[in-house]
Copies of this chain bind each other. A is one copy, B any other.
């Protein structure tokens, strides 16, 4: 059995609102925190720069892993120049769905954590998210983690602090954690603009969360 350090955590940091909030959650829970960012050929390169900036401001290391295979596989509006759809593919999933993305993210995070003997993995996924990606669900991640722990002879623990929160509750959690100002450095918009476009599903969801929490979005204010 792999020996892992229980005081260390690895946060998968996309550069968005949710994973940034998770980073601040982890900073409260664990003695040592690192962040891991995936360059999977996402159309909006500023996500990766946002992750680096968020990590720098939080004073934690940020490592980028390159996953070119998603671009080679193709088929998602997040990695190709397809129009963003919220709903409506033939299989009932939005075309922002990248098959296997979170499964791959979690498995590589475990492989990285294995090398560094980090026991805790933190992922900013959310079941209540509008898109209903099936790889964000607790049941999916539980099975994947079971495979990882068996396959690496390890006992990683997975934390998904936002899993059952609404976007409003996530904003309130960020406030409680003192993470609001860090959210000014995050990137959310599916259309890739720094200032929220205000019309894509991701911007609408973010705006709704801040509005319901009755807190101004520091990203909007910063522009």
Contact = CB atoms under 8 A, between A and B. Distances in A.
Contact of A111 (B73, B114, B143, B145): B73
Contact of A143 (B70, B100, B102, B143): B143
Contacts of A151: 100, 102-103, 134-135, 137, 140, 144
Interface string A97-114: 011101110011011101
Contact of A104 (B2, B108, B135, B145): B108
B74 A99 contact: no
Contact of A93 (B100, B147, B153): B153
A1 B104 CA distance: 20
A38 to B, nearest CB: 8
Given A69-B65, A147-B141, A147-B147, A107 B115 contact: no
B91 A1 contact: yes
A148 B107 contact: no
A3 B102 CA distance: 21
Contacts of A70: 111
Q: How large is the interface on A (under 10, 10 to 19, 20 to 34, 35 or more residues)?
A: 35 or more
Given A93-B153, A107-B104, A107-B107, A115 B73 contact: yes
A135 B152 contact: yes
The CB with the most chain B CB atoms within 10 A, among A3, A115, A145, is that of: A115
A67 interface: yes
Contact of A144 (B1, B3, B114, B147): B147
